[in-house]
Amino acid sequence: MSQLIVKSPKHCANHGVNIEKFYKKLFYAFSTFFFSILFTVFLIWLILRPAKPEFYLKQADVYQFNLSGSSHLLNSSIQITLVSRNPNTKVGIYYDQLKACASYKSQQITIGAPIPPFYQGHEDRNLLIASLIGTGLSVSPSFGYEVSRDQVVGKVVLQLKVNGRLRWKVGTWVSGQYRLSVVCVTMMSFDSNTGAGPLSLKQGSQCSTSV
């Protein structure tokens, strides 16, 4: 004769409670581990407090900077040399998606020139060279007048920008991406004999950096 075992509703209820307790313990254990990792990373970050990188405009040469005939289309050619420095003693920096461009009187005069991504170690310095080109760029009707006036004065002020992303590296941990913006303002002198280009930076200038 076979034996039939019938579980009471109370027994089934207890079984369900045990499963629920198991999942709760698993959830609490996972949450504790996850928040411990986050707290450790935050603590390391708080102790180290990475300083933003420093940029210095070492050299800038303007080889072309003129309008096409009577139209308001600009052709420009500028080569820049930047020095990038990581001031941190324990934090490395990954630079991604960097692009450099130049502007004059709040008007962009070159297209964005990509700078290859690179890693910068603790207190390292890197030399960055970029060729900025603008061909047939549309500018305001007063652009030619502004340039002519600067030629009479003998000086022209250009703004050089580098935009991109960076990531901090502490040991084996790498952060997410942060927006990087570098602005260099430089005053360049026209040739004293001709009053025209090419223009060259006579003295380097410090750039402002925001992250």
Q: Is 35 left (phi over 0), alpha (psi -120 to 50) or beta?
A: alpha
The reply to whether 100 and 171 lie within a common domain is yes
The reply to whether 10 and 108 lie within a common domain is no
The reply to whether 31 and 60 lie within a common domain is no
* Residue 24 domain boundaries: 1-49
On the question of pLDDT at 5 being above 60, the answer is: no
Q: What is the DSSP letter of 43?
A: H
On the question of pLDDT at 196 being above 60, the answer is: no
The reply to whether 36 and 87 lie within a common domain is no
- Which has more pLDDT, 101 or 26? 101
The reply to whether 2 and 80 lie within a common domain is no
What residues form DSSP beta bridges with 174?
Answer: 169
How many domains, in total, are found in the chain?
A: 2
What residues form DSSP beta bridges with 167?
Answer: 94
Q: C-alpha dihedral over 194, 199, 204, 209, to 10 degrees?
A: 140
How far apart CA 86 and CA 50 sit, in angstroms, is 10
- Which has more pLDDT, 82 or 188? 82
User: Closest by alpha carbon to 124, among 94, 99, 166?
Assistant: 94
The reply to whether 114 and 197 lie within a common domain is yes
* Cβ 206 vs Cβ 83: under 8 Å: no
Looking at residue 76, its pLDDT comes to 93
The reply to whether 88 and 177 lie within a common domain is yes
- Which has more pLDDT, 196 or 168? 168
Q: pLDDT for 37-49, tens place per residue? A: 777 767 666 666 7
The reply to whether 23 and 119 lie within a common domain is no
The reply to whether 45 and 58 lie within a common domain is no
How far apart CA 31 and CA 42 sit, in angstroms, is 16
On the question of pLDDT at 159 being above 50, the answer is: yes
Looking at residue 192, its pLDDT comes to 54
Tokens at 190, concatenated? 């026209």
Indicate the residue among 12, 29, 49 that finishes a domain: 49
Q: pLDDT for 67-120, tens place per residue? A: 876 678 899 999 999 999 999 998 999 999 999 999 999 899 999 999 999 999
Looking at residue 194, its pLDDT comes to 44
Count other C-beta atoms under 10 Å from residue 93's C-beta.
25
- Which has more pLDDT, 129 or 28? 129
The reply to whether 38 and 92 lie within a common domain is no
**pTM of structure:** 0.75
Looking at residue 12, its pLDDT comes to 53
Which CATH number goes with the domain that contains 98?
2.60.40
Indicate the residue among 9, 33, 49 that finishes a domain: 49
User: Closest by alpha carbon to 109, among 75, 63, 154?
Assistant: 75
The reply to whether 92 and 16 lie within a common domain is no
On the question of pLDDT at 198 being above 80, the answer is: no
The reply to whether 17 and 66 lie within a common domain is no
